[in-house]
Each structure stands twice: as structure tokens, then as C-alpha cells.
């Protein structure tokens, strides 16, 4: 079974702090994704990566950056957390090369106060 893990289930940070969210997948997937999910807005893509050290902006990249130094690990960074970044953050991975089904991690509920 595909396993995608995220570093924290719940996180509380203060405004202005730098926040790191980590995601690890164990299936040698090519693609990894970061989403945020908010009530009424659904899943919105923040960033994705097709390969190590490669990254592409999604629909809402402002205020976020990412890092993929190893194939299995994809990190989301909030450079200076703000209250409007309070959300559920979901990481996903997909095999790539024609197989685009995505598998999600358990999510991190981030609260910025």
C-alpha cells in the first residue's frame, strides 16, 4: 500500500513565524503535491513537483515555498505565517509516467494565531 506521511497532525504557530511542513512517501513516486483545504473552497493546489529539485507553482503559491531535495520528501515552507494561512494542509503523491492517481497523507491542521 502507498504510504504518505506528514510530520504533524496539528500545529499552532504565531503570526510571523517560519513554518515547515514535511511530507514523505514510500512508493518511489515521481510526483508530489501540496494542497490546502478550506470549507466551501475545496482543495487548492499550492505547489507540485515532478522530480527532485523541480517545482511548479499551483493555483495559490503566494506566501509559500517548497523544497524537494530527495525523491521521497517534499517540504512546504511558510516564510512568515499569517492568520489567513490557517487551514488544513494536505500532501499527495502520484506515480507519474501516465499514472496520475494521487494518494494523500493524513493532513496537518495548522492554526496561526
Helix, coil or strand: residue 84: helix
In the complex, the residues that contact other proteins under the rule CB under 8 A are: 31, 40-43, 45, 48, 50, 58, 90, 94, 96, 100-107
Between 84 and 100, CB nearer to other proteins: 100
Kindly state the smallest distance separating residue 18's Cβ from other proteins, in Å. 25
Q: What is the DSSP secondary structure assignment for residue 14, as one 8-state letter?
A: -
Q: Whose grid coordinates read 507519474?
A: 96
Count of helix runs (H) and strand runs (E) in the chain: 0, 11
Q: The C-alpha cell of 69 is what?
A: 531535495
Cβ at position 77, least distance to other proteins in Å: 21
Residue 84 or 97 with smaller CB distance to other proteins: 97
CB of 16 to other proteins, least distance (A): 28
User: 3 or 18, CB closer to other proteins?
Assistant: 3
Rounded Cα–Cα distance for residues 8 and 11 (Å): 7
Of how many residues is the chain composed? Answer: 113
Amino acid at each position: 500500500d502507498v504510504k504518505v506521511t506528514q510530520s504533524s497532525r496539528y500545529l499552532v504557530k504565531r503570526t510571523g513565524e517560519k513554518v515547515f511542513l514535511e511530507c514523505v512517501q514510500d512508493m518511489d513516486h515521481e510526483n508530489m503535491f501540496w494542497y490546502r483545504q478550506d470549507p466551501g473552497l475545496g482543495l487548492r493546489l499550492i505547489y507540485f513537483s515532478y522530480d527532485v529539485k523541480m517545482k511548479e507553482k499551483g493555483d495559490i503559491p503566494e506566501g509559500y515555498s517548497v523544497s524537494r531535495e530527495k525523491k521521497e520528501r517534499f517540504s512546504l515552507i511558510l516564510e512568515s505565517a499569517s492568520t489567513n494561512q490557517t487551514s488544513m494542509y494536505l500532501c499527495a503523491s502520484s506515480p507519474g509516467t501516465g499514472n496520475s492517481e494521487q494518494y494523500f497523507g493524513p493532513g496537518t491542521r495548522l492554526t496561526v494565531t
